[in-house]
Amino acid sequence: MSQAAPVHGRSKNLVLAAMIFAVAMTFIDQTIVSIAVPEIQTKLGLSATGVQWAVNAYLLALASLFAFGGRLADTLGHRKMVTVGVIIFAGASALCGATPAGSLAEAWLITFRALQGLGGAIMFPAALAIVVQTYEVRERGKALATFFGISGALTAIGPIMGGFLTQWTWRAIFWVNLPVAAVAVLLIALSKPVTDFRPAKMDYRGLALITGGIVLGVFGFQQAPLWGWGNPAIGLCIAAGVVLLIVFYRVQRVTDSPLIDMAIFRNRTFLVENMVLGVAMLVFVPLFLFSSEYAQISLGKQAKDAGVFLLYFFIGFAVATQIGGRMLDRIGAKRPVTMGCVLAAVGFFLWAQKVTTLDFGKQQWFIVLAGAGMGLMLSPASTDAVNQAGRFSYGEATGITQTIRNYAASLGLAVLGTTLVSRMRGNVANQLVAQHVPRALADKEAASLAQMQNSGSSGGTSGNGAPDLSKIPHFYQVAFAQSTQTIFYIMAGIMAVAALIALVGLKWGVAPVPEGEAAAGAGPDAGPTQGAAEAAA
């Protein structure tokens, strides 16, 4: 076990830069791959199922192994685990880019996409724990606002970068991670972050239960828009996942060295912040998919230009993240989290009213407003939750919050994706009837068109190649805009619920930190000190 000492400002900033570069790859990969999916499928001859799994394998591994990664970081050392995670992620990226054509291609790509997810799950909790321990409690809001603000912006840059790199070769979307990883490893070596950790045995029984529960549940949610909620396999997968998670909870309560110490949920602030984050993630991740599809289908933009559309969201997000972080440090989390959720709800509501105009100029300021609301709440909620953990459990707390966020995002994609398809059937049929098509024929044609859209709802593209935007009829553009309007109204309602949870559940003022935490970070700034255990790591 090491005893971390406070470090001076320059070293802190170097550590922060190192961790941002480390996690940058995971944020870029959330959106960059979907742009290249049509070309990957064409070049490698993948089946529609295979290309879907090339997207989902990464997401499944990432979501199911976050708790494992957080526990590893707290027991083996955060610097060691973030370095291992970066190397695994970069190595898997290189192998994804080297996928051979032929019969081996599908299995190869899916395997190494899953390995990318493992690397990300090991890397992210360790990186966030390092940032948290590097900064004293009163500075964390500002530091993590920078961390989440830059990382979030990279999510928006992914589609733009993917569009340009794919023009050269689709393999470049994976190889772009290699120089980022090299910089991250170099900065980690230079900054030598020192954190507290406590060796403990791994709870493999708990790991098997939570991994099985998350995989089955997320898989069920991911497949729901494709197979339909009426397919009994969907219900079985989700039900089995829930049962395994219930068993996991009961087992953890009686395990001596559990994967997740369930006592942390007795902390009201931690519990409420995770509830807020879970509800908000029903919106945040699905937004990237639905707004990108809207920009391409209803506004007729190319895929790389659709990424520019999302940059307006992140203009508001990046600015408000900084404001939210500073408010957290000064007055606590309740005001920025509640205000952020309210602003996001208003932004989505006003944005929804303008999407059917098919005029981007009438939407842009409401897009900025929605982004500002999400930015104002996201960083303070995440930071405030992790602050409730003891200094030996930051990785575990991060693993919990990230697991909840990813599970909620999968649920949001499934439910909102199904809603979009349902609304498309009705809206397309109504548009066709307005053009004097008989209702029976209109309903049949609408069902076919909606199902074609449904094939791409979980991965950002159908895998059947990019649509010829010049041939999308105007009635279909309008129908998709009307369906998107419904989705954005639902998103506004979801964020209003998150605001209510924050208003009722959070306490005013700066939340008290765990016993021992204040003492650990209360001393005056000093030069960087390397604890024996972390130095050995």
* 291 and 433 belong to one structural domain: yes
Among residues 155, 180, 196, the one where a domain terminates is: 196
Among residues 168, 196, 224, the one where a domain terminates is: 196
- Read off the pLDDT band of 522 (50, 70, 90): very low
| In a domain? residue 532 | no
The residue-averaged pLDDT of 211-231 equals 83
* 169 and 284 belong to one structural domain: no
d(CA 525, CA 513) in angstroms, rounded, equals 19
Q: pLDDT tens digits, residue range 409-457?
A: 888 887 888 888 888 888 887 878 787 777 777 777 767 665 555 444 3
The residue-averaged pLDDT of 255-270 equals 84
529 has a pLDDT exceeding 50: no
515 has a pLDDT exceeding 50: yes
Q: Dihedral of CA 264/265/270/275: which sign?
A: positive
* 161 and 241 belong to one structural domain: no
Contact 42/232 with Cβ under 8 angstroms?
no
CB atoms under 10 Å from CB of 522, counted, come to 11
Q: For position 513, what pLDDT does the model report?
A: 61
Highest mean pLDDT among 108-117, 128-137, 256-265, 388-397: 108-117
Q: For position 347, what pLDDT does the model report?
A: 96
* 216 and 340 belong to one structural domain: no
Domain hosting residue 224, numbered range: 203-253
* 366 and 221 belong to one structural domain: no
Among residues 253, 272, 291, the one where a domain terminates is: 253
The residue-averaged pLDDT of 383-393 equals 76
Q: Taking each helix axis as running N to C, give the angle between helix 78-97 and helix 48-76, from 0 to 180 degrees, rounded to the nearest 10.
A: 160
HSE-CB at 234 with a 13 A cutoff on CA atoms is 15
Report DSSP letters for 233-293, one per residue: HHHHHHHHHHHHHHHHHHHHHT-SS-SS-GGGGGSHHHHHHHHHHHHHHHHHHHHHHHHHH
| In a domain? residue 31 | yes
247 has a pLDDT exceeding 90: yes
| In a domain? residue 440 | yes
| In a domain? residue 535 | no
d(CA 149, CA 132) in angstroms, rounded, equals 15
Q: pLDDT tens digits, residue range 293-339?
A: 888 788 887 766 666 777 888 889 888 988 988 898 888 889 999 99
* 113 and 248 belong to one structural domain: no
- Read off the pLDDT band of 112 (50, 70, 90): very high
Q: pLDDT tens digits, residue range 448-482?
A: 665 555 444 333 343 334 445 557 788 888 888 99
| In a domain? residue 296 | yes
Q: How far is CA 416 from CA 123, 340, 422, 459, in A?
A: 30, 22, 10, 13
Q: pLDDT tens digits, residue range 358-384?
A: 888 899 999 999 999 999 998 889 888
The residue among 323, 358, 461, 479 whose CA lies nearest residue 34 is: 461
* 208 and 331 belong to one structural domain: no
Contact 161/32 with Cβ under 8 angstroms?
yes
In terms of pLDDT, which residue wins out, 161 or 484? 484
**How many domains, in total, are found in the chain?**
3
Report DSSP letters for 70-133, one per residue: HHHHHHH-HHHHHHHHHHHHHHHHHHHHTPPSSTTHHHHHHHHHHHHHHHHHHHHHHHHHHHHH
534 has a pLDDT exceeding 60: no
| In a domain? residue 519 | no
* 230 and 265 belong to one structural domain: no
| In a domain? residue 391 | yes
d(CA 316, CA 335) in angstroms, rounded, equals 18
Highest mean pLDDT among 147-151, 248-252, 257-261: 248-252
* 132 and 149 belong to one structural domain: yes
**CATH of residue 34:** 1.20.1250.20
* 235 and 159 belong to one structural domain: no
- Token reading at 156: 């928006």
* 230 and 338 belong to one structural domain: no
- Token reading at 121: 């799950």
The alpha carbon torsion through 66, 379, 459, 236 (nearest 10 deg) reads 50
Residue 463's region, left for phi above 0, alpha for psi from -120 to 50, else beta, is: left
* 175 and 289 belong to one structural domain: no
- Greatest alpha-carbon span in the chain: 78
Q: Dihedral of CA 264/269/273/275: which sign?
A: positive
| In a domain? residue 349 | yes
Q: For position 34, what pLDDT does the model report?
A: 67
